[in-house]
Structure 1
Amino acid sequence: MKNNNGASIRKLSNRSLKNNHMRNFFAVLAITLTGILFTAVFSLTGGVMQTAQEQTMREVGGKFHAGLKAATTQQYEKVISDPLVKESSYNIFISIADNIIKRQAELRYLPMESALEDMFITLEEGHMPAGEKDIIVDSFILDELGLPYALGEKIPLRFQFMGETVEDEFTLCGWYRGDVVSHASELFLSESYWMGLKGSFTDEDFLQWGEGHPEDKNVGLMAVNLYFDNTYHLEEKVRTVITNAGYEPGTELAYGVNWAYMTNRLEAVDPFVMLILLGTVAVILLTGYLIIYNIFQISVISDIRFYGLLKTIGTTKKQIRALVRRQAFILSVIGIPVGLIIGYGIGAWTLPFMLSFSDYGGMEISLKFHPQILVFGAGFSTFTVFLSSRKPGKIAGSVSPIEAVKYTEEGEIGKKSLKRKKKAKRKKGGKFSAVSMSFSNLGRNRRTTAVVVSAISLSIILLSIVMTAVGSFRIDQYIEQRIAGDFLLGNVNVTSTAVGNGDIDIEPDFLKMADLQRGIEGRREMWTRFSTGLLVDDKAKERLQVLSETGNLRKEPYMAEDLEELLQGEKSLSGYCYGYDKELLSYLKVLDGTLDIEEFLTGDYILLTQFLGSTVLPSDEHIYHPGDTVTLEWCGEDSIGHEIVDEAGEIINVVYDNLDRKEYKVMAIVEIPYALGLNRYSANSCDMVLPLSEMGVEKIGNDGEIDWYERYMQESFTRCFAVSYQVGEQEQSAFESAVEMYTKQHPQMGYLTKEALRKEFESMVMVIATIGIALAAVVALVGILNFINAMVTAIISRKREFAMLQSIGMTNGQLRKTLICEGVSYIVISGAISFVLGSLLAWLILRALNGVILFFEYRFQILPFVIMLPLLVLAAVATPVICYRSIQKKSIVERLRVSE
C-alpha cells in the first residue's frame, strides 16, 4: 500500500539540514568550489582556445573556412555555385611594395567592403577606395613612411607588375590599426586603378606569367574565401566543391583550409594528445566527485543512527534516499550558482592577465560570454553532486535499525577501542601510543580514509605533473636553436620572420661598426652559395620515382616541367648550400651518421639535410645516406649564363653552363637549427653544408677590415648572410645600443639578442605555468578542504567516544596528540602514494612529450612535494587542535549525555 508522506519527508529533510550547520557549510563550500573549478576550467580553456583560434586566423588572414588560390573568374563562378558553399568573397593580388622595408606590404583590389571584417580589419577613419588613386593602408605603413594618421596624406609606392616597375603616389582614403600578429600589411586599391593596371591582360595571361615566374603565380588572379554551413570536415568539403566544378583539387586548382578552427584541428589530433585531454577532464571530474562524495558520505555515517531510527517508524529505503538527494539538491541550489559566478569571474579576470605574458599580449583580449560555459559548468556540477550523493544515499537507505545502533553506540567505540588501546599499551610496554591509536582509528572506516587520502594524493599528483612539465622546458635548447652567441646581425629578411623572402645582403658598414665595439669575445660567420645543386644519379632517380608514386613529392601545376626533369635526372636536386665557421659546426644536430669536424674540414665531405617533398622525410628515407658519394655542381667564375625569354621578350629564367663540379662523400644527415639557416625552403630539395674553404671563402682574420667580404659580395655567388657575436656581459648593453641605433637609421638591417629570446621563451612558459598551476592550486585547495572537512566531521561525530576515553583515564594531551597523529597519518599515507604515483605518472606522460613538444625534455622535480606536504602537515596539526578546543568547552558528563 502506497502512502503519501512526501510532506513529512520534506519536513524531515529541512529539519535535518537545520541541525547540521557545520556539515551544511562544508557541503555548500565544496559544491561552490566544485562549480568554481568546472566553470573556471571551462572559461580559461574556452578563452585560450578562442584566443588561439583568433590569433591563428589573423596569421592565416581571415575567418573563412577554406580558400582557393590563384583562381580565374570562371573557376570562381563555378565553385561558388555549389550548394555546399554558403557564402564567398574574393580579392585580387596585385603586387608587393618594394619601398616598404620593415613590413611586407601587399597591394590588393577588394570589391566588397563586408570582407574587411572577415580579415579582422576595422577602419579607424575613412571609406573604401572611390577615386582612382585612393588607397587604404594600416598604421605600420604610415609609421614607416613617417606620415600622420590623417586622411588625404600622400602615399608613395613602388612595385612590380607583369615585369614592369610601377611608381605612383596615392591618396589615403582610409586607415586601420595594423595587426602585429599578421605577417603582412594589406593595402587596398580602387577598382578603377586595378582596371587601368590590368588593361588588356586576361586570366590566361596571368596564368601563363605565373608559370614562368613562380614568385608571381598569384598576380592578377583571385584569392577566394569560402564559407560552409559548419567547420567540420573542411578538407573534404573544399575538395568536393572543386571536383564538382570540374577541376582536380590541388593540381588544376590550388586550395587551402583554414586550420585555425579547433574543430578542424581536433579531426587530426594525435591520439596521445586526445588521451591526455580526456585524462585531464577525468581528473577534474574525479576531483569534484571526491570532495562532494566525502562530505555526504561522512555526513551519512555521522547521522547513521538517525536514519536507523527513521527505519523503525516505517521510512522506506526509497524515502531515505530521496531525503538525502533532496538535501543535496537544496545545497546545490545555493552552491552551484555562487560557484558559476565566481568561476566565470576568475576566468574573465585571469585570461587577459595570463595571456599578457604570451605572444598574444599585443591583442585586445577579453573572455567573450558564451552561455555554453555556464551550461557546462552547471551541468558538470549538478552531475557531480548527483553522482556523489547517490552512494551515501544508498548506504543510508540500506542500513537496518540494529546496525545503526551498533554503529554509533559503545559496541564499536567502547570494547574494540579499549582492546586496541590495551594492545597498543602492551606493544609500548604499558605506555600510551598515540601513533598506534591514530592508525587504528584510520582503519575503522576504511572507505572514508580512502576517499580523503585519494583527494589529497590527487592534488599532490596533479601539482607534481604540472610543475614537472613546467620545469622540463629547456630554455637552453630554445636559445641554441634561435641564436648562436649573444647577438646575431644580418639583413632584416634574415633576423625577422615577419618580412618574408627578399635579399639577404648585409651592409659592410653595419659589420664594421659592430666589429669596432668593445667586449667582443667571439665572432662567427654564416655563408651561403646560390645556384648549387646535387646531380641526380641512378640511385637518386630510383628513389625519387618511388617518392613520386607514393605522393611524397610536391606537384603544383607550375612545377610540372621542373619535376619531370628532376625525375629524369636532367635537373639537379636543388637546395641552399651553407658554410660556417668551425665553431658553429657543433650546433648542427646529427640525425644519421657521425660528424667529425676535423675530418669534415679537409674538404672531402659534405653534410646533407633531410629531403623536403610534400613532407619532411625521416633520415632513413633520404635520397642519399652517409657513406654515399655525390656530385655537387655550382656556378663558378667561368660559368656563363643564358637568358631565356618568353614570347613577349621578358626574361623568365637564366640557365648557366660550364658549371664547376666536385665529388664529395656524405658524412652525415643533419638538421640545421633555426639560428644557422635562412629558413627558406625549396620544393623537392635538401640543403647542403660545406667547409668554408670549399665555398671559396678565404678567411684573413678579423681586424676591423672586411675588404674580403665586399669582394665576394661583388664577384661571386657566395654571400655572408649573418654574423654572430659573443660579447662580454659588461659590454652587452653598449653593444645592443650601438646596433639598435644603426638599425633605426638603416631599417634594412636587423639583429637578434639572446636576452630578448630568453624573455620570449620565459613568457611562453609562464603562460603554461599559470594555467597549470592555477588548475593545480584549485585541486590542491579541494584536497586540503576535503581533508579539513573529514577531520572536523570525524571529531564532531566522535564527541561521545572522546568523552568515554577521557572518562577511563585518557588525558587532554593524549587525546590532542592522538588527533594530531591521526591527521598527520593521512598526510604520511598520501605523501607516500603521491610521491610514487606522481613521479611515475609524470615520467610516463612527460617523457612521451619529449618528441612531441619542441625544447622539452623530462626532468624530475621535487619542488611540488616540498610545497604541498608542509602545508598539509600544518593543516593536519592545526585542524584537530582548533576543533578539540571547541569540544572541550563542554564537560565529559555533558558530552556523555548527548545521544545525537
Structure 2
Amino acid sequence: MKRQKSMIRTLTNRSFKANKTRNLVAIFAIVLTTVMFTSLFVLSQSMVENLRNMNFQQAGYNSHLSSGIMTDADVEKITTHEAVRDFGKSIVVGIAENKELTGRQVEIRYADENYARSSFSYPTEGTMPVQENEIALDTITLDKMGLPYELGQKITLQWRKDLNGEEITTSTFTLSGYWNGNSAAMASMVWVSEAFVQSQCAGIDQVEQLANGQVLGTVMLHIDLYSDSNLEGAAEQILADTGLSNVSLSPNAAYDSTMNQNINREVLPMAICMVLVFASGYLIIYNIFQISVASDIRFYGRLKTLGTTKRQLKKMIYGQANRLSLIGIPIGLVIGYLLGAVLVPVMITGTTGEAKTAVNPYIFIGSALFAYLTVLISCMKPAKIAGKVSPMEALRYTDAGTNSKRKTKKSTGGASIPKMALANLGRNKKRTITVICSLTLGLVLLSCVYAKNASFDIDKYMSQTVISDFEVEDSSISSTFGTYNPYGTTISPELVQNIEGLSGLEATGRLYSQVFTHKIGASALENIQTYYNADDRLTYIEATDAGLAEAYHDMIDSGECTSILYGIDGLILDTFAQDGRMLDGTFDKGKFLSGGYVVMEAATGAEDSGKETQPTYSVGDTVELNGQQYEVMAIVADIPTITEGVNSSTQDFLSFYLPADTFRAMYPDNTLRKLFFDVVEEYQPQAEEMLIQYQQDVDKSLNYTAKSTLIEHYQEQTRANTVMGFAISLIIAFVGILNFVNSMVTAIVSRQKEFAMIQSIGMTKRQLRRMLIDEGLYYAGSTLLAAYVLGTVAVAVGVRMMVAGDWTATFHFTLLPLVICTPILIAFAIVIPYICFKNLEKQSIVERLRATD
C-alpha cells in the first residue's frame, strides 16, 4: 500500500513537472480568484467595521445603554444590578456659552476613563484633567474658538450654574489634553477634573436639582451589558428591578436592528460579487483542468492499462490541484489584502473620519477556503473524466469528448471552410459552452454596471438637495439642539453687503421665520384629522413619539397648535414655480407678491403626496395671521432644503409662507434665517473664497453650503459603486478572454497532427489560417449574440428594478459597453488564432505527422 502511494506521488510529481505551461496558467487563475475573494473579504469586513463605527459615532458613544441625569443613589442601584457588566460615569457641570461656540453644543462635564473612551472623547494628545484648573476638549471646540492645538494654553469658558438664571460664570483652565472632534456627534464634550466639580457643586442637593430642571452636579451613565440583544427590554427590566421610574435608560441606536439591516444592505453587493467571482473562477480553473485532462488522456489510458485504479487517477488530479493551490493561494492572499487595503478608502465613503482597513485572521481563512473550494469543485468533473476513461477510449480520443457518438453528416453543398470551423466548435460542446458563458458573464455584468451608473441623476439629486449655488444660514440652525433664535446675528448686514457685491451675482433669496400659536380653522382641523387617521399614521406616532402624540391630542382638544410663519422672496419663489412643486392650486408669483395671499406647506414631498388630503388649510380658505386676512393660494410640497433646521420644534403642525416684505412688516426685529444666492460659474470660486475668509476673520459660527461641494460629495458616494462594479466586471471579462485564449491555444496544439494530415491532402496554409480564424469568429459571434440577448433582458428588467426605488436615479436603457466591446472581441477572435497559427507554422508538416504522444 505504501509503495502504491509512493508511486502515485511520483507520477503526480512528474506529471506536474511535465505540464509547466498548464501550471503557470492554472497558478495565475488561482491567484486571480484568490485575489478577488480576499479583496472582497477585506472590503466587506472593513465596510461592516467602518459602518458600525460610524453608527456609534453618530450616536455619540459605543456602550449598550445611556442614561438621563440622576442622583448618586440612583447610580448605585443601577450599577450594582446583575445585568450590568461595566459602566462609565459622568458628572454634568453645564453648557459652554462662549459666542465663538454658537452653533455647536459644548457640554462641560467630569468623566471617568470608561465614560470618556466610550464617548470617543479620550485625549490622544496629553491626559485627562487631574488638577482643579485643568481641562481636556476636542479639536472642533479649539477650532471654533480659534485656538491652536497646544497643550498648556489658557482657555476661558462661560457657563451658567443656574440654566434659568442670568448670572454667567467665567472659568479659566489650562489645556491638559485634546482629541480629534467627532462632527457626527450631537455635541462636543469638555472634560474638567473631579476637583473642579467638587468645588462648584459644594452644598448642592441632587434631588432638588432634578426637581428644578437643573443639571449641575447630576450624574449620567454609559452602561455595558453582557449581551447586546433586546437592549430595550433589558433597560426596562433594570428600571423595574431597581424601582427607578423617574430615570431614563436609552438603548444605543447603533445596536438597533434597522442599523444592522442597513449594514447588511451595504454588504449585499459584496456577497453578490463573491458569487460572481466563484462562477468566473470555476469557469477558468475547470476549463484549464478539463483541457489538461483531455491533452493527457492517452497517458491516463496507459496508466489504466498498467492497473491504476479510478481512485488513484483522481488522486493524481487532486494532488496536482493541491500543489497549484499551495503556490497560488498564498500569493493571492497577499496581493488581495494589499489591493483591498488600497480600495477601502475609495469604496467606503461618507464614514466619520478616515476609513480603516480591517485586520482579521478570518479574512485570510475565509478567502483561502473559498479559493480552495473553487479549485476542488473545478477539478471534480475533469478528475471524473480521467478516472472513467478506458484504455481503448483514450487511444481513440480526438478532443471530442470520451463518450461522444459521432454521426455521419450529409451535405449537398460540400465541405467549406466556415462549415469545418463550425463543426470543430461542436467537437467539444462543453468547452465551447464554458468559454461562451465565461465571456458572456463579464459582458452582461459590465453592461448592467454601466446602465446602473448611467442612471445616477445628478440634476434630480440636486433638485431635492439645494435650490441655489450657495446657502448661508444662521448659526442657531447649525446647532444640533436647534436653539431657535429668530434674532440671530450670523447673517449680518456686513455679510449681506459682501454677498450683494459679489461679481457674477445672478439672484438671491431670503428666508425669515417666526414660531407662533395659531387658532386653527375648521377646514384645517378636519384635514389634519383626516390625514393622521389615514394609513395608521396616528397609531405609529403614538407608538414611536410620545411628545408628538401628546401635542397632536392637545391640538385637537384646544383647536390651537404651534405653527411657523416664513417670509420668502427671490430664488425661493422661483423654486415654488417649478413643475411638480405645487400639490394643489396654482402659484402666481405676481399675485403672491402683491399681498393678500398665503401659501401652505404640505406634510410630504411631491413624490410621496399622491392625491391625498394634506394636514393643512385647503386652497381658497381664508386664514388670519397677526390680525390680517389672507387667502390660501396653493399648497406646496415639503422642500427640506429651504426650511430644514429653521424651527427647533418638531411639533409644529402648520407652516405658512408670506412674501418677505409682508413678513418684515409684521416682525421688523427678525433677522435672516437663511440666504440663498446664485453666482455665474466662473465667479463661484471667488464667492466661496469670500465666505471662507469671512468665516475665518469675522464670524467662525457662519455655516454655508456650496452646490459644488454637494456635487463632489454625491460623485464620491456613487464612485464606490462604480469602481467596484467595473472592477469585478472587467476581471470577469478578462477571465473569459483568458478562457478563450487557453481554449484556442490548447485546441490548436492538440490538433497539430490532424492539421498536418489535412494539409498533406491539399488544404493550404491560407485555408487552415482562415478556418482557425473562423473558429474564433464563431466564438465571438456566439458570445455577442448571447450577451446582447441576455444584456437586453438584464438591463431592461434587472437594472430598471434596481433603480426604481432610488430617488436619485432616472433609468436609461443602454448597451454602450457591449457596442464598445464588440469590435474588441472580434479583434481578439482574429488575432489569437492568427498568432497560434504562426506558432504552428514553425514546424513542418512532416515533423507534425511524426509527432507521437
**Does 2:525 match 1:537?**
yes
Aligned to 2:190: 187
One of 391, 398, 411 as aligned partner of 2:381: 391
| Change over 3 Å in CA distance of 1:592–1:791 after alignment to 2 | farther
2:326 paired with 1:349 = no
Residue 253 of structure 1 is aligned with which of 226, 248, 251?
Answer: 248
- The aligned residue for residue 520 of structure 1 is 505
**How far, CA to CA, are the matches of 1:591 and 1:527 in structure 2?**
21
1:266 equivalenced with 2:266 (yes/no): no
Q: So what's the TM-score if we normalise by structure 1?
A: 0.83
**Range with greater deviation from structure 2 (374-383 or 56-65):** 56-65
User: Which of 222, 225, 229 pairs up with 1:228?
Assistant: 225
Structure 2 partner of 1:646: none
AA aligned opposite 1:187: V
8 Å CA contact retained: 2:115, 2:221: no
Instruction: State the Cα deviation string for residues 490-516 of structure 1 (Å, max 9, x = none).
Output: 32445x587954536321222122212
Aligned-pair Cα RMSD in Å: 3.9
Residue number among 692, 696, 701 corresponding to 2:662 in the alignment: 696
Q: Which runs of 5+ in 2 are unaligned?
A: none
Confirm whether residue 735 of structure 1 aligns to residue 690 of structure 2.
Answer: no
User: CA 1:392–1:619 in structure 2 vs 1: closer, same or farther (change >3 Å)?
Assistant: same
Q: Distance in 2 between matches of 1:619 and 1:534?
A: 28
Equivalent residues in 2 for 1:42-121, closer than 5 Å = 42-71=41-70, 73-99=72-98, 100-101=100-101, 104-121=104-121
Question: Could you tell me which residue of structure 2 aligns to residue 701 of structure 1?
Answer: none
CA drift of 1:537 comes to 3.0
Change beyond 3 A, Cα 1:864–1:570: same
Checking the alignment, whether the CA contact within 8 Å between 2:780 and 2:829 is kept in structure 1 is: yes
Change (3 A) 1:442 1:80: farther
1:389 is displaced (CA, Å) by 0.9
Instruction: Tell me which residue corresponds to 2:7.
Output: 8
Residues 320, 540 of structure 1: CA spacing in aligned structure 2 closer, same or farther, 3 A cutoff? same
Q: What is the DSSP-based 3-state SS (H/G/I as helix, E as strand, rest coil) of the residue aligned with 1:132?
A: coil
Q: Is 1:407–2:397 an aligned residue pair?
A: yes
**Is 1:433 equivalent to 2:399 in the alignment?**
no
Change (3 A) 1:373 1:808: same
Match of 1:584 in 2: 575
1:286-308 deviation digits (Å, cap 9, x = unpaired): 22222212222222233333333
Q: Output the CA distance in 2 between the equivalents of 1:222 and 1:465.
A: 55
Structure 2 distance, partners of 1:414, 1:73, is: 86
Could you say which residue in structure 2 is the equivalent of 1:642? none
> Structure 1 stretch 510-519 or stretch 850-859: which is displaced more?
850-859
User: Partner amino acid for 2:156?
Assistant: P
In structure 2, C-alpha distance between the alignment counterparts of 1:4 and 1:35, rounded to whole Å: 35
Q: In the superposition, relative to structure 1, how do residues 410 and 475 fare at CA in structure 2: closer, same or farther (>3 Å)?
A: closer
Contact 2:561/2:653 (<8 A) preserved = no
CA contact (8 A) 2:135 2:192 kept: yes
8 A Cα contact 2:400 2:428, kept in partner: no
- 1:754 maps to which residue? 707
- 1:363 aligned onto 2:342: no
Alignment of 1:375-386 (within 5 A): 375-386=365-376
1:374 aligns with 2:368: no
Q: Is the 8 A contact 1:324 1:389 kept in 2?
A: yes
Instruction: Specify whether residues 592 and 300 from structure 1 end up closer, same or farther in structure 2 by C-alpha distance, changes over 3 A only.
Output: farther
Q: Please tell me the residue identity of whatever aligns with 2:380.
A: R
Q: How far apart are residue 70 of structure 1 and its match?
A: 4.1
Q: Go from structure 1 to structure 2 and tell me whether the alpha carbon gap of 1:363 and 1:111 turns closer, same or farther (over 3 Å shift).
A: closer
Whole-Å separation in 2 of the counterparts to 1:835 and 1:741? 55
CA distance in 2 between counterparts of 1:514 and 1:728 reads 13
Partner deviation per Cα, 1:609-636 (whole Å, 9 max, x = no partner) = 3279xxx9977776637857877565x3
Q: 2-side partners of 1:338 and 1:411: how far apart?
A: 34
Specify the alignment match of 1:884 in structure 2.
837
Q: Residues of 2 paired with 1:253 and 1:873: CA distance?
A: 70
Q: Unaligned 5+ residue runs, structure 1?
A: 211-215, 637-659, 698-708
3-state DSSP of counterpart to 1:163: coil
* Per-residue deviation, 1:871: 4.1
User: Structure 1 residues 782 and 196 mapped into 2: Cα distance closer, same or farther (>3 Å)?
Assistant: same
Are the counterparts in 2 of residues 576 and 686 from structure 1 also a CA contact under 8 Å?
no
Verify: 1:452 aligned to 2:435, yes or no: yes
Q: CA deviation at 1:334?
A: 1.1
Match of 1:873 among 826, 830, 835: 826
Q: After superposition, where does 1:298-377 map in structure 2 within 5 Å?
A: 298-352=291-345, 358-360=349-351, 363-377=353-367
TM-fit CA distance, 1:522: 2.0
Q: TM-score, normalised by structure 2?
A: 0.87
Which residue type is aligned with residue 225 of structure 2? F
Q: Is the 8 A contact 2:30 2:285 kept in 1?
A: yes
CA distance in 2, matches of 1:570, 1:836: 63
Which residue of the partner structure matches residue 783 of structure 1?
736
- Once the two structures are TM-superposed, the CA of residue 377 in structure 1 deviates from its matched residue by 0.4
Residues 1:14 and 1:221: Cα distance change in structure 2 (over 3 Å):
same
The answer on whether the counterparts of 2:562 and 2:651 sit within 8 Å (CA) in structure 1 is yes
Per-residue CA deviation, residues 755-774 of structure 1 (Å, 9 max, x unaligned), is 22222222222233233323
1: CA distance between counterparts of 2:400 and 2:800? 53
Instruction: Show the counterpart of 1:550.
Output: 539
In structure 2, relative to structure 1, the CA distance for the partners of 1:565 and 1:856 (3 Å cut) is same
What letter corresponds to residue 655 of structure 2 in structure 1? Answer: M
Q: Which deviations, in whole Å up to 9, do the C-alpha atoms of 1:176-224 show, x marking residues without a partner?
A: 23336434432112223334444555454454445xxxxx8x7765443
Question: Partners in 1 of 2:404 and 2:374 — Cα distance?
Answer: 37
Question: Which residue number in structure 1 is paired with residue 464 of structure 2?
Answer: 481
In 2, the alpha carbon distance for the partners of 1:770 and 1:20 equals 37
User: Equivalents in 2 of 1:622, 1:246: separation in Å?
Assistant: 46
1:176 to 171, 175, 178: 178
What is the CA–CA distance in structure 2 between the aligned matches of 1:123 and 1:414, rounded to whole Å?
Answer: 75
Q: Distance in 1 between matches of 2:574 and 2:283?
A: 57
AA partner of residue 541 (structure 2)? N
| Conserved? CA contact 1:70–1:254, under 8 Å | no
Q: Supply the distance in 2 between the matched residues of 1:96 and 1:437 (Cα, whole angstroms).
A: 87
Distance 1:574 1:219 in 2: 33
- The yes-or-no answer on 1:285 pairing with 2:288 is no
Per the alignment, residue 426 of structure 2 pairs with 443
1:822 equivalent in alignment to 2:764: no
Equivalent pairs counted in the alignment come to 836
| Residue in structure 1 matched with residue 554 of structure 2 by the alignment | 565
For residues 418-474 of structure 1, the C-alpha deviation after alignment (integer angstroms, 9 at most, x for no partner) is x77x95xx65xx68434x333322222221111111111111222222222322222
Shift of 1:478: 2.6
Report the equivalent of 1:166.
168
Amino acid at match of 1:752: T
Is this contact kept in 2: 1:609–1:686, CA < 8 A?
Answer: no
Cα gap change, 1:766/1:811 in structure 2, threshold over 3 Å: closer, same or farther?
Answer: same
Q: Secondary structure at the match of 1:397?
A: helix
Range 227-236 or range 718-727, more displaced? 227-236
Deviation digits for residues 121-173 of structure 1 (CA, Å, limit 9, x no counterpart): 44244332233332112233333434343333221222344213423132124
